Amino acid sequence: MAAPATPANQLDTPRAVANKRDKRTLLRAIRMALGIESAAVRRNTQTFNRNRYREAAALADYDALKDEARAIKERAIAGLPDLLLTLEGAVRARGGQFYLASTAADACRYILGVCQAHSARLVVKGKSITSEEIRLNHMLQGAGIEVAESDLAEFILQVADEQPSHNVAPAMHYSTERISALFKQKFETSEPLETGEELTKFARERLRQKFLTADIGFTGANLIAADTGTLMLVESEGNIRMSSLLPPVHISLAGVEKVIPARSEMGVFLELLALSFNGKLTSYTSFISPPLEDPSFALAGRPRKKREFHLVLIDNGRMKMRQDPVLQEALYCIRCSACMNSCANFQTVGGHAFGGEAYSGGIGGSWEAGTGALENARFSDLCTGCSRCVNNCPVRIDIPWLNESLRDRLNQKSAGSPMATLLGLASAAASRDRRASAQKIFFGNYHWFAAMGSRLSGLSNGLLKNQAARSALEALVGVDRRRELPPFPARTLVRAAGEAPAARPGGTRAKAVLFADVYTNYGLPERGLAALKILRALGADVVISAAVPEGRAALSQGMIATAKKHARRAAATLRPFLEDGRDVIVVEPSALAMFRRDFRHLLLDAALSERLRAHSFEAVEYVARLLEESGRAAADVFDVARSPVGPRLFYHPHCQQKTLGCAEPTEKLLREIGFDVATSGVECCGMAGSFGYKKEYFTLSMAVADDLFGQVQAAEAVSAGGPRALVASGTSCTEQLHSGLGRPVLHPLELLAGSLRV
């Protein structure tokens, strides 16, 4: 759809855009990734992701495993200093060496020292993203030592001189065709280099000799048990087994966060990591406590050396992360890659755009910031907060919150501008947040601009259609002029609701308040009116709240102080309704996600936050509950024959709605009524709140949406029965579908209200 126009030879190399300290580099990296790497990344991440969903669904005690893993990691990080002492004792007791390096340079110095003590000429190396963090190869090669990367992905990256783009499959951005072209360019050989088989054979044969003759074998470690010094090593190719078994000296490098208390706790992680690999274990998962008893290898009369083992653990910022109330959580990460595979932006650009010099994806920003400089986490701007990673994280890290917090810190580093200050003052942004860009303040305080626009809807709707006004809006606050902006309705939801008919007596005895969220109130009030109509038809006593921001917009811009202000205001607005025994009904899923997930970070009153979490419902979810409680069949209340758009639907649930488990009730209800529902299988539509409106991300947003548009097309193929009406639950998803396909998009509530039997 939005194919980049830049020819491939004018695009940057991945290395040139690895460090995204400034936003310009991030944008160049996105251009490069969309131009070259997108197709392979999409195919590979989505395959990983599909397999993971399938296997996780089949794992009966998935949640219990996650809880167990989380508890182990929490305990490990809390007691880390003691664990390191225990581990040192265990390694030394077995005759191994233990070194705790404080910085990357320190670790490099120690490793070089070991190599030089053995007059090493060749180091054979298993995959280690941590070694990328400390630029180990660069340092060893500079000292005249040959480094042979033996994981085939790392082998490709070494040949290409690129940084990893993914922590499990670091060269997943390469297609077979591109590897073939690369090898043909870099190697002089008569061997065929076309197919995956041929390329694998070529690399295998080159590396076989390296394994057999290396002076030193180098590996990372997935986990380390403090009580026994056991390393957990996960791989599929056999290169890590070779590297740790054959050479006389084995060096293992890992971050201190990889240490857990006991070997007996490793089984939980083994089972959880399997989900990242088809649900099977990888071909090889080793649990070894080196030095091994086996004699080291000695070919062709070379002397057989005594085994030596060095465990090098690095701090390099991790102990500081441990003291950081936010970044601490990143230390729980077990590098399974579930977050990046389930991320729509990552699926589209991969880790060379959505990543830094070593770490990538949603969790990568925290790692780059924690082990380097905060500015290195600039790429975490690509986290839209859609939350699709949240349920997939095996240790339950709240990755969107980490990225929102990084954004908050980056906002503080920004220079600010007169325009930002002006907009911040006008819209009452928290003083701390007025340093953010004018664009962030505009989107973060959108409720204020929407209220203004709505009050003057005649004027503002005229301006929205005016090219000069749109150019000004783009120049001042970065709203892409290619985006159609929906007009402000003549009457907001709150005003229109005052004129809506009251509940019919009888039916349910439910009492509820409809939360007038910003997007429904100022943008699409008909959704809210439909909710009132349905709930009242069911006999519910439902009232409407004042229109207040709940903080989602500010939170997503990293304006956390403002988000807290908004959250408190919304909670105070809703408190009397809760005390009156009313459930809180929400139309916009991103607002519901604030009540259910995010308020715990923002509200001081934990009891109120918990009450709101337990008593807030997505509007259609609530309708389904009322039907169930009253024992009425959906088809007795709604009639598919009355549907304003016919019975065939393409339904796109909102990303946060899916994470909250609120998408299924809508699908189920629509099917019970008799609708023929095709549901989108994408993680996110690409618009993701403000993301797709931002001028710098418009192209990426449209590229992400290609998958969604493709699915609509497939569901509407002649063989699939032809056209369907488009239905979506989120405001920005509605806009994305509308702009991409040029067709009307209904909210399920509007469809249901139109299908009421009465």
Partner 1 sequence: MAAPAQTSLLELFIARATEAAAKVDRVRRSGVELRNAVARATEGARSLVIADGEFLSAEFFTVLRSLPGVIAKPTDDQLATTDAGVTEAFAGVARTGSICIAMGPPLRATSSLLMPLHVALLPAERIVSRPRELFALDGIGAEALGRNLVFVTGPSATADMGPLVRGVHGPHRLHILVVE
Ordered alpha helix ranges (H), 381-517: 399-413, 418-426, 438-444, 446-455, 457-465, 467-477, 493-497
Q: Which is nearer to partner 1, 288 or 524 (CB)?
A: 288
- Decide: is 643 part of the binding site for partner 1 (CB under 8 A): no
The only residue of 152, 256, 343, 353 in contact with partner 1, by rule CB under 8 A: 152
Q: How many whole angstroms separate alpha carbon 493 and alpha carbon 429?
A: 24
182 part of the interface to partner 1, by CB under 8 A: no
Q: Is 112 in the site for partner 1 (CB under 8 A)?
A: no
Q: How far is the CB of 153 from partner 1 (least distance, A)?
A: 4
Neighbours of 452 (CB within 10 A): 15
* DSSP codes, 425-448: HHTT--GGGGGS-HHHHHHHTHHH
In 3D, which of 77, 142, 563, 509 has the Cα closest to residue 332?
Answer: 77
Distance between CA atoms of 460 and 454, rounded to whole angstroms? 8
**What is the crossing angle of helices 457-465 and 446-455, to 10°?**
110
Pick the binder of partner 1 from 17, 41, 56, 245 (CB under 8 A): 245
Tell me the torsion sign for CA atoms 185, 187, 189, 193. negative
Q: How far apart are CA 26 and CA 17, in angstroms?
A: 7
- 453-458: long-range pairs with CB below 8 Å, 24+: 453/488, 453/522, 454/488, 454/489, 454/492, 454/522, 457/487, 457/488, 457/489, 457/490
Residue 749: closest CA among 493, 416, 408: 493
Among 12, 151, 257, 315, binds partner 1 (CB under 8 A): 151
Interaction mask 719-738, partner 1, x per CB under 8 A: --------------------
Stretch that binds partner 1, among 202-210, 528-536, 608-616, 689-697 (CB under 8 A): 202-210
Q: Rule CB under 8 A: choose which of 27, 122, 212, 469 binds partner 1.
A: 212
- What's the rounded Cα separation, in Å, for the pair 621 and 459? 37
N- to C-terminal Cα distance for the chain? Answer: 43
Q: Is 259 helix (H, G, I), strand (E, B) or coil?
A: strand
Residue 23 φ then ψ, to 5°:
-70, -30
Provide, rounded to whole angstroms, the least separation between the CB of residue 286 and partner 1: 4
How many residues make contact with partner 1 (CB under 8 A)?
59
* Residue placing its CB nearer to partner 1 in the complex, 148 or 420: 148
Among the listed residues 239, 557, 690, 755, the single contact to partner 1 using CB under 8 A: 239
- Closer residue to partner 1 in complex, CB, 116/209: 209
The number of residues in the chain equals 758
Q: Which is nearer to partner 1, 47 or 116 (CB)?
A: 47
Residue 469 has which token pair? 């006004």
Nearest to 623 by CA among 667, 679, 666, 578: 666
Q: Decide if 474 contacts 435 (C-beta within 8 A).
A: no
Helices vs. strands in the chain: H and E counts, helices first: 37, 18
CB atoms within 10 A of CB 63: 12
- Identify the CA nearest to 489 among candidates 514, 512, 518: 518
199 binds partner 1 (CB under 8 A): yes
Out of 81, 196, 646, 661, the residue judged to bind partner 1 by CB under 8 A: 196
Residue 292 makes contact with partner 1 by CB under 8 A: yes
Task: Please identify, using beta-carbon distances, which residue of 245 and 544 lies nearer to partner 1.
Answer: 245
150 lies in the site for partner 1, by CB under 8 A = yes
Check residue 51 for interaction with partner 1 (CB under 8 A): no
If the CB atoms of residues 198 and 696 are measured against partner 1, the closer one turns out to be 198
Say which residues have a Cβ less than 8 Å from residue 683's Cβ, sequence separation at least 6. Answer: 49, 342, 343, 344, 347, 386, 388, 655
How far apart, in Å, are the Cα atoms of 750 and each of 75, 507, 727?
A: 49, 21, 9
Which lies closer to partner 1 via its Cβ, residue 66 or residue 615? 66
Nearer to partner 1, 16 or 71 (CB): 71
Report the residue number, 347 or 454, with the smaller CB distance to partner 1: 347
Please report how close the Cβ of residue 212 comes to partner 1 at its closest, in angstroms.
6
Supply the minimum distance, in Å, between the C-beta of residue 42 and partner 1. Answer: 14
Among the residue ranges 298-306, 424-432, 577-585, 696-704, the one whose residues contact partner 1 (CB under 8 A) = 298-306
Q: Does 189 sit near partner 1 (CB under 8 A)?
A: no
Query: Please, what is the Cα angle at 287 between 283 and 288, to 5 degrees?
Result: 125
User: From the CB of 722, what's the least distance to partner 1, in Å?
Assistant: 36
Smaller CB separation from partner 1, 166 or 483: 166
Smaller CB distance to partner 1: residue 109 or 302?
302
- Which range, of 231-239, 646-654, 698-706, 718-726, touches partner 1 by CB under 8 A? 231-239
46 forms part of the interface with partner 1 (CB under 8 A): no
Per CB under 8 A, 305 contacts partner 1 = no
> Applying CB under 8 A, does 340 fall inside the site for partner 1?
no
Q: For residues 208 and 743, which CB has a smaller minimum distance to partner 1 in the complex? A: 208
Site for partner 1 in 252-291 (CB under 8 A): 263-268, 270-271, 274, 279-289
| Between 268 and 634, CB nearer to partner 1 | 268
Nearer to partner 1 (CB atom), residue 280 or residue 465 = 280
Neighbour order of strands in the sheet with 745-746: 676-679, 648-652, 725-728, 745-746
Q: Is 88 in the site for partner 1 (CB under 8 A)?
A: no
579 binds partner 1 (CB under 8 A): no
| Identified binder of partner 1 from the candidate list 25, 51, 176, 412, rule CB under 8 A | 176
Q: Give the span between the Cα atoms of 675 and 669, in whole angstroms.
A: 9
Q: Does 175 bind partner 1 (CB under 8 A)?
A: yes
Which one among 21, 118, 135, 204 touches partner 1, defined by CB under 8 A? 204
Which chain residues interact with partner 1 by CB under 8 A?
44, 150-153, 155-156, 169, 171, 174-176, 179, 195-197, 199-200, 203-204, 207-208, 211-212, 228, 236-239, 241-242, 245, 263-268, 270-271, 274, 279-289, 292-294, 297-300
